[in-house]
């Protein structure tokens, strides 16, 4: 839900204005109206913003660029030296001093590789063989003609490092020591500087907020009067009025209009609050719009659970979510997401049981599963189609119908019934037609059913084709209605079919889990009574396989329900998501 706001206009004498802003900031309930003009041109504000960005960057990085670049350079040198050492290890250990002595004595060493099947003994001395490749050395003395030019195609000359593998590994050890020291410097810098940077960032943010408020203040009477506009939640109005009455401030409080860029403050229960961040990913609602979160929350939970489709994975998500929430498991990307992961795990456990899958095991086919529990599982076919696929499509139809009803109600509230006759016509045609069809197949007599269908069709046709825009030429209305019919016919069908992913993803995850189970049983010889040595690969296959499947399933179960919410539902609900979030002026 969206909290109701009051729009305030403050008129303050310039000498009391700074004290007024101080009290307003201390109270911390007024969202100041921002005006684009002058904000980007103010040099002081831009300087403060740059300092704040730099502080955030240093806090996020944990060190200045110079220290981090030095660390990156060391890591690159270590990787390159280790690679060179691995290359030299094939040629064996040798003394650089001894090589210089051979060179001074008039002997030259050349190094070659070639396929094993091409090598001829007269070419040189074999140093090593690796797979199908031979590594050999050719020794020539002063005045002796080198043989390299006469070797066959496929033979490649190698140019070696002057240091041996042992010497290069010593260099790696030395560089690793420098890297340890560099990491210690970075940690020390962070320990000494980050707390001060965090304090500095808070102070900068207060200065930025103050500057923005002053830039959004209008002056009248040659600067003697200051005018400021802002918004206050209805539940904080009494506290604000009490402060204003004690000051020499003229103010006016009124309800916001459609032209005002009114900020929104969401007010939801604890369950719905978990999903507000998902709404924010798309965009916050306008003040005149509806908050989609109360509807998004249960449907996203249901969609996620269906895409996961495995109660075993749901139990694992519950455990992971609780560990993250209690700070027993620290994963930076999931920081603060413990509660929603736990809730998604609970939903997956419940839905996964009704779908009859546990860690890739088909519970409905398991002999040890009681028949009473099997009877509540969703298994079987409807008109030759898997019942789970039919269920996914039915959920999609309901979701889209709900979106159309929400759109009709909210658009009527925002723009009036007259401007939304066509919206109600389509809602009546699709939602009303489905309801009448369902009632006709169950309880309605044939005569009543026929009359209801005619009534729904007639009223809908008039709303869509004749009265869609009152006052306009009827022929133009008919043309616009036909075009909208084409868009609706193609769009609605595609939207409904999109919900098949709820069935497909759950099915794919279950089949992949079952495949890992079968691989494990193959190692055990088809049973759980294998030899002792077989248990280790059996456990490894199950653990690694199901962890991989859990990760892939969770990713798909997050992305695809988000798409169904953002595309199919929001589009049919007419949700724009271009609102501004309530951010009060406060310390």
Give the per-residue pLDDT at 531.
Answer: 57
pLDDT above 90 coverage of the chain, percent: 31
pLDDT digits (tens, 9 = 90+) for 404-438: 999 999 888 888 888 888 888 888 888 888 888 88
User: Does 6 or 106 have the greater pLDDT score?
Assistant: 6
Give the per-residue pLDDT at 143.
Answer: 57
pLDDT digits (tens, 9 = 90+) for 523-564: 777 555 555 667 788 888 889 999 999 999 999 999 999 999
Q: How confident is the model at residue 403 (pLDDT cuts 50, 70, 90)?
A: very high
Q: How confident is the model at residue 117 (pLDDT cuts 50, 70, 90)?
A: confident
Give the per-residue pLDDT at 318.
Answer: 95
Give the per-residue pLDDT at 39.
Answer: 64
pLDDT digits (tens, 9 = 90+) for 269-285: 999 999 999 999 999 99
Count how many Cα atoms sit within 13 Å of the Cα of residue 343 in the half-sphere of its side chain: 16
Compute the C-alpha angle 529/535/536, nearest 5°: 175
| Mean pLDDT (whole number) for 393-410 | 92
Residue 106 — left, alpha, or beta (φ > 0 → left; ψ -120 to 50 → alpha)? left
| Mean pLDDT (whole number) for 287-297 | 90
Residue 475 has pLDDT above 60, yes or no: yes
User: Does 109 or 532 have the greater pLDDT score?
Assistant: 109
Residue 37 has pLDDT above 60, yes or no: no
Residue 345 has pLDDT above 90, yes or no: yes
| Cβ proximity of 263 and 579 under 8 Å | yes
Q: How confident is the model at residue 303 (pLDDT cuts 50, 70, 90)?
A: very high
Q: What is the largest CA-CA distance in the chain?
A: 115
Q: How confident is the model at residue 40 (pLDDT cuts 50, 70, 90)?
A: low
| Mean pLDDT (whole number) for 236-249 | 85
| Mean pLDDT (whole number) for 225-242 | 90
Determine which of 223-237, 385-399, 522-536 has the lowest per-residue pLDDT on average: 522-536
Give the per-residue pLDDT at 304.
Answer: 95
Full-model pTM: 0.77
Please, where are the H alpha helices in 216-225? none
Give the per-residue pLDDT at 51.
Answer: 87
Instruction: Considering only CA atoms, give the Rg of the chain.
Output: 36
Among 98-102, 150-154, 292-296, 415-419, top mean pLDDT goes to: 292-296
Give the per-residue pLDDT at 576.
Answer: 86
Number of CB atoms found within 10 A of residue 316's CB: 19
Helix count and strand count (H, E) for the chain: 20, 13
How many angstroms separate the CA atoms of 501 and 400, rounded? Answer: 15
Domains of the chain: 5-63+192-254 (3.30.70), 92-159 (no CATH), 270-389+503-573 (no CATH)
How many angstroms separate the CA atoms of 131 and 133, rounded? Answer: 6
pLDDT digits (tens, 9 = 90+) for 143-195: 555 554 556 677 888 888 878 888 889 999 999 999 999 999 999 998 888 89
Instruction: Work out the mean pLDDT of the chain and round it to a whole number.
Output: 86
Write out the DSSP string of 187-211. HHHHHHHHHHHHHHHHHHHHHHHHH
How many angstroms separate the CA atoms of 394 and 339, rounded? Answer: 30
Residues in contact with 450: Cβ distance below 8 Å, sequence separation at least 6, in sequence order: none
């Amino acid at each position: 839900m969206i909290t109701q706001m009051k729009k305030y206009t403050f008129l303050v004498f310039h000498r009391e204005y700074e004290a007024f802003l101080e009290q307003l900031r201390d109270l911390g309930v007024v969202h100041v109206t921002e005006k684009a003009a002058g904000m980007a041109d103010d040099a002081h504000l831009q300087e403060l913003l740059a300092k704040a960005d730099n502080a955030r960057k240093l806090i996020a990085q944990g060190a200045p660029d110079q220290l981090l670049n030095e660390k990156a350079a060391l890591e690159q040198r270590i990787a390159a030296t280790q690679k060179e050492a691995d290359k030299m290890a094939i040629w064996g250990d040798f003394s650089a001093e001894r090589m210089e002595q051979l060179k001074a004595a008039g002997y030259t060493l050349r190094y070659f590789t070639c396929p094993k099947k091409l090598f001829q003994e007269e070419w040189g001395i074999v140093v090593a063989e690796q797979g199908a490749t031979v590594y050999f050395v050719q020794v020539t003395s002063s005045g002796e003609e080198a043989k390299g030019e006469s070797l066959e195609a496929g033979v490649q000359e190698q140019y070696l490092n002057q240091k041996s593998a042992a010497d290069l590994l010593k260099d790696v050890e030395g560089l690793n020591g420098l890297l340890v020291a560099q990491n210690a410097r970075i940690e020390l810098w962070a320990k000494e500087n980050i707390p001060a940077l965090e304090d500095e960032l808070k102070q900068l943010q207060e200065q930025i907020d103050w500057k923005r408020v002053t830039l959004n203040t209008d002056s009248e009477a040659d600067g003697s009067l200051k005018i400021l506009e802002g918004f206050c939640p209805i539940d904080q109005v009494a506290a604000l009025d009490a402060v204003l009455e004690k000051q020499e401030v003229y103010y006016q409080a009124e309800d916001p209009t459609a032209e005002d860029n009114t900020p929104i403050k969401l007010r939801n229960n604890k369950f719905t609050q978990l999903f507000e961040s998902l709404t924010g990913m798309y965009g916050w609602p306008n003040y005149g719009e509806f908050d989609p979160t109360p509807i998004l929350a249960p449907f996203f939970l249901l969609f996620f659970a269906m895409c996961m489709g495995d109660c075993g994975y749901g139990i694992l998500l519950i455990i992971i979510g609780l560990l993250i929430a209690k700070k027993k498991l620290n994963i930076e990307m999931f920081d603060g997401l413990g509660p929603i992961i736990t809730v998604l795990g609970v939903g997956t456990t419940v839905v996964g049981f009704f779908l009859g899958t546990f860690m890739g095991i088909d519970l409905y086919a398991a002999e040890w599963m009681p028949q009473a529990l099997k009877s509540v599982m969703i298994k079987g076919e409807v008109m030759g189609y898997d019942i789970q696929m039919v269920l996914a499509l039915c959920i999609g139809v309901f979701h889209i119908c709900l979106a159309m009803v929400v759109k009709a109600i909210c658009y009527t509230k925002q723009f009036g019934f007259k401007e939304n006759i066509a919206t109600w016509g389509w809602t009546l045609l699709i939602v009303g037609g489905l309801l009448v069809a369902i009632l006709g197949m169950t309880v309605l007599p044939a005569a009543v059913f026929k009359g209801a269908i005619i009534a729904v069709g007639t009223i809908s046709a008039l709303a869509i084709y004749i009265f869609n825009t009152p006052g306009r030429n009827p022929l133009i209305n008919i043309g616009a209605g036909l075009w909208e019919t084409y868009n609706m016919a193609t769009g609605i069908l595609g939207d409904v079919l999109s919900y098949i992913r709820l069935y497909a993803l759950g099915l794919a995850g279950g089949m992949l889990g079952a495949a890992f189970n079968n691989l494990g049983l193959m190692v055990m010889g088809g049973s759980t009574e294998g030899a002792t040595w077989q248990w280790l690969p059996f456990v490894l296959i199950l653990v690694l396989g199901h962890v991989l499947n859990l990760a892939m399933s969770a990713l798909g179960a997050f992305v695809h329900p988000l798409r169904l919410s953002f595309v199919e539902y929001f589009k049919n609900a007419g949700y724009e998501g271009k609102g501004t979030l309530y951010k009060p002026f406060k310390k």
